[in-house]
A and B are shown apart, each in its own frame.
Chain A
């Protein structure tokens, strides 16, 4: 049982939660995630640790409402308890001084991107970040990302904020402009796929942080498996970051949709039961 000590809405659908978890706060590094469960009938869902405070023994997560589990989480208030929180899971990001790092985040992928950008900046890199979303309201954490980036480029599909166009357009402009030593991308699988295709064209090593479906997060089940360079890897213990040029994103996309029907049904049931979102 872990207590929620702070809650902040970034938009209707994106919420920051600060949770008591002293041990995790102490041992986590950039790139780590947790798995949590809301209620004894809840599902185990993975979420990135965006930040931590070792003095107060808290960790910060940012959640986007996707389906039943994330909605249940977002509906919790300060003072409520989360049934189970376990972590830190996964491997920490391998942070090095590469030179110029080009980061890209899409949608709620910006949350997991934040600690990575922070760490690369602190390691002495020049960091350029491209944030992308469908429209202005969906751009989150801009300020925090700016704190650790030398330059931030905003892209929206509808042009309601920043430049109009997809994330790849913003990236390509930077690539044509200056030498990039490393790219990092976190976002929807489809976005990471196209970022990978782009950077491959320019021979830029690229890390993608994968958000597969998970159950235990300790390597026990294989729910999170992806094909990387022709080999099956488990995202929870071998990742979550992999060489974007080696990941089979099409397979990952179909695996992410494995439970689409059940999720939609669960969502409808949930709505009819609680009439509250």
Chain B
């Protein structure tokens, strides 16, 4: 940390930084009000898939950038899981050098347009910002600025394609094309490796494509990032399930030297309450996959989806919010969140909760389903719900919900979306016997190198962390790339030193056959 602080300090002393800082007095900066993100009208957007946040205009971005006082000790950076040089990229906005600013972001963040949209900044950089911590004022809108810069670069048509070192011919593979796999691939290709990304589904992007809806993260934006990787030389293989289509051992025989597993936490949890398998009850994964990946709501596409009038979504995370807001857009009259704790304990992003409320989503907090009922065709038509109250705090520090006896009541529903968490996908762990796996099913890794119990297999993202975030997954991909590079280089050095010991051609042949 100290070294990073040193570095940040030195950067801060560059001439241009000193000059831009001196343009406006700190006192004037801190008296500026935070700009709200311009948003689409709730009554328009809850009937369409247009992106809710419209992005800042150039003047707005410069204004917001001026609020940042370019602290001596930028605490925001400590709040960023990948340590973006936040004040530097913000000051480049203030000077109007947006493309330069984009470069700074990309030094540490492979997917700024994505992170600018989906990162929970309110509990990361914006929470540790000087404004929040010391002034008790709304923080600098770091996330909105990040998004502005990434969008500016994309729309400018001048996206910089990073430089690539000369090819070293060493084949490595990423398993899974979510944010962890993509960022791993980006870093490895830059270092000269021959990189292949294997993806089980027919589309690249992982949760960014099949999970997070269009109105929060348009697919086009993800596609631009993928296209850049493609141009840099990353090979993408879809419809390929590692562990099924071919095993890691098969791939080794094809010449792959090392692997990064970023296969995500894709298995949906259910509550195992009576009636949960009635028709019309979905996991959020199924519901969102049908709508986002398979485009079920578009009559031009073949995949169907049941989109009822009375939709209940069980849960309080981002996935629950995405599902309930999707249901509203598919025409639900009543789209409800049913969550067993209070709104304060909801794990979803503040922004998502706010947007959902504006769009007319009903929040039934301190409620928990206990049974579903169906008509004669097995279609869900009613659910029994129990009211809860908050008791003592549990291990997570959140107050435990306690059922209130005799408070059960019924709600009419025709669609239910169960969104109570996910578990790691066991497909890969099951296919590699020597791999150490925790009792939760996550892959165990060394936390500094992300190397697993099998030395040429690294892992990161949700398969290691359980359900986490895009930025953490991305950071893992980068960390694993650095560690794998080191690991391979060392291996190569060992082989070279071995070869040097050889005295005769016979020795070499002998070694080669081994």
A→B interface (CB under 8 Å): 23-24, 26-27, 37, 41-44, 68-69, 72, 83-89, 215-216, 218-223, 225-227, 232, 237, 250-251, 253-255, 257-259, 262-263, 266, 269
> What is the interface of chain B mostly: helix, strand, loop, or mixed?
loop
> What is the interface of chain A mostly: helix, strand, loop, or mixed?
mixed
The answer to whether B268 and A220 touch across the interface, beta carbons within 8 angstroms, is: yes
Min Cβ gap B319→A in Å is: 13
The answer to whether A23 and B272 touch across the interface, beta carbons within 8 angstroms, is: no
Chain A to chain B: the 7 pairs with minimum beta-carbon distance, closest first: A254-B378, A221-B286, A262-B304, A43-B302, A86-B239, A220-B266, A222-B283
Min Cβ gap A85→B in Å is: 6
B→A interface (CB under 8 Å): 200-202, 238-241, 244-247, 250, 266-268, 270, 272, 276-280, 282-283, 285-286, 289-290, 294-295, 299-304, 306, 374, 377-379, 425-427
Residues of B near A255 (CB, < 8 A) are: 277, 279, 378
Bound-state CA distance A232–B276 (Å) is 9
- Considering the complex, give the chain A residue whose CB is closest to the CB of B287: A221
Min Cβ gap B295→A in Å is: 7
Bound-state CA distance A269–B299 (Å) is 10
Min Cβ gap B180→A in Å is: 16
- Considering the complex, give the chain B residue whose CB is closest to the CB of A41: B301
Known: A44-B294, A221-B285. A37 touches B202 (CB 8 A): yes
| Neighbour of B267 across the interface among A68, A219, A226, CB < 8 A | A219
Bound-state CA distance A258–B306 (Å) is 8
- Considering the complex, give the chain B residue whose CB is closest to the CB of A253: B378
Residues of B near A218 (CB, < 8 A) are: 200, 241, 266, 425, 427
The answer to whether A86 and B270 touch across the interface, beta carbons within 8 angstroms, is: no
Residues of A near B374 (CB, < 8 A) are: 254
Bound-state CA distance A108–B277 (Å) is 26
Name, among B200, B282, B302, the residue most crowded by chain A CB atoms within 10 Å (CB to CB).
Answer: B302
Residues of A near B278 (CB, < 8 A) are: 254
The answer to whether A220 and B267 touch across the interface, beta carbons within 8 angstroms, is: yes
Residues of A near B202 (CB, < 8 A) are: 37, 44, 83-84, 86
| Neighbour of A220 across the interface among B240, B272, B289, B300, CB < 8 A | B289
Min Cβ gap B120→A in Å is: 24
Residues of A near B240 (CB, < 8 A) are: 23, 86
- Considering the complex, give the chain B residue whose CB is closest to the CB of A90: B244
Bound-state CA distance A218–B245 (Å) is 12
The answer to whether A227 and B277 touch across the interface, beta carbons within 8 angstroms, is: yes
Known: A86-B241, A266-B302. A219 touches B277 (CB 8 A): no
Residues of A near B294 (CB, < 8 A) are: 43-44, 215
Bound-state CA distance A176–B289 (Å) is 49
The answer to whether B244 and A221 touch across the interface, beta carbons within 8 angstroms, is: no
Min Cβ gap A149→B in Å is: 30
Residues of A near B276 (CB, < 8 A) are: 232
The answer to whether B245 and A259 touch across the interface, beta carbons within 8 angstroms, is: no
Residues of A near B304 (CB, < 8 A) are: 43, 259, 262-263, 266
Bound-state CA distance A84–B293 (Å) is 14
- Considering the complex, give the chain B residue whose CB is closest to the CB of A38: B302
Bound-state CA distance A257–B278 (Å) is 11
Residues of A near B244 (CB, < 8 A) are: 27, 87-89
Min Cβ gap B160→A in Å is: 31
- Considering the complex, give the chain A residue whose CB is closest to the CB of B278: A254
- Considering the complex, give the chain B residue whose CB is closest to the CB of A2: B239
The answer to whether A222 and B282 touch across the interface, beta carbons within 8 angstroms, is: yes
